[in-house]
Amino acid sequence: MPSEFMRLALDEAESALGTTSPNPSVGAVIVRDGRVVGRGHTQPPGGAHAEVEALREAGEAARGATLYCTLEPCVHTGRTGPCTEAIIAAGVTAVRYSIVDPDAKVAGGGDARLRAAGLDVEVGDGAAESERVLEGYLKHRRTGLPAVIVKVAMSLDGRIASASGDARWVSGPEAREWVHRLRSRMDAVIVGSGTQLADDPALTARPAGVDVPHQPARIVVDSRGQTPPTARLFSEAGGPVLIATVDGVSRAWRTAIEARGGEVLTLPGKAGREGASHVDLRALLGALGERGMLNVMVEGGGVLLGALFDRRLVDRLYAVIAPVVIGAAAAPSAVSGRGAQVMREAPRLRDLAVSRLGEDVLVEGVPVWPDAASGGRGGE
């Protein structure tokens, strides 16, 4: 468990999620004589880092104080100066941080600089909690890809709509409110073209009574160029709209999408079971990573989610399960794709958490696939 003051720093870090990419969402507090004298979190790109924000609030009270920070302070100059130098200049005498920054520009260098200046440095307080907050940043720095969070709302029998395609509403109002808050912490929200055509979603973050400082990018995976220029995506204010497709789509469709303010991103295709070319999802994630996106959420439909699970590209799953039974073989399922052919191939969730959202149940966890030696299929 994190210490009392590191918990406050973690709260600061969580409050900035979705606003800092490609920088990590970091929180910091400064404590002197058992009292918090400064706190801060990472500002949007180009703004101050968490440590500098906390130092500004603390002022002269930072001299002789202890800094609690959720990530190793940076030691390099980017759009802002090194946090290590600001900490040393302010007269802070001790630093407690949660985890080492895996970025090659830091990677222990911040720790070494602070120790060389004579500061008392300890690492590890709140490490597990900080890794959870920073899961997208950590994955991005290690692989170049954003963390992929899948959110699905389904019935007790695993359906996301009725046989007629009606999906409003599978989940209750509390779950829908929770989704809007979650969207505001994401760099992008992604759906497949089937979901776009069936539901015509705006994909914006609209939590009730909250002034949202950040709207995620809105992305449709559309290999056939089916997204209409009249879609709500283009008429409702929100984050930028990106349609991911492959070579061969209509030039007229592309022109019409761009005329509505959307960006058409052409990516490599992968042959599907029907022989048609589908967007290479790993290539899409690579392109989003190059744009500095750290956390992206995929909200459906079953075809897209099935492809992500088949390719082992899912980092975290949120399953909202409603107390309703839809039935019907023709009703769409939450996850399709090839799937597990035998039970030993099926991924199971670790770090499992179960909670209530009104009448619905939220199941959260990290998928773990069996390795090839135990009979599972290897990832891409």
Enumerate residues 6+ apart whose C-beta is below 8 A from 128: none
Name residue, tokens 């906390």: 54
Closest CA to 59 of 82, 40, 34: 40
State how far the Cα of 324 lies from the Cα of 208, in Å rounded to an integer. 25
Active site residues: 51
The Cβ-side half-sphere exposure at 277, using a 13 Å CA radius, reads 12
Tell me how far the alpha carbon of residue 274 is from its chain's centroid: 32
* Under 8 Å between Cβ of 222 and 245: yes
Return the number of other C-beta atoms located less than 10 Å from residue 63's C-beta: 12
**What are 265's strand-pairing partners?**
244
Name residue, tokens 């089937």: 194
State how far the Cα of 261 lies from the Cα of 240, in Å rounded to an integer. 8
Q: 91 by DSSP, 3-state: which?
A: coil
State how far the Cα of 65 lies from the Cα of 68, in Å rounded to an integer. 10
Structure token digits, residue 146: 């954003």
Residue 151 is given by DSSP the state E
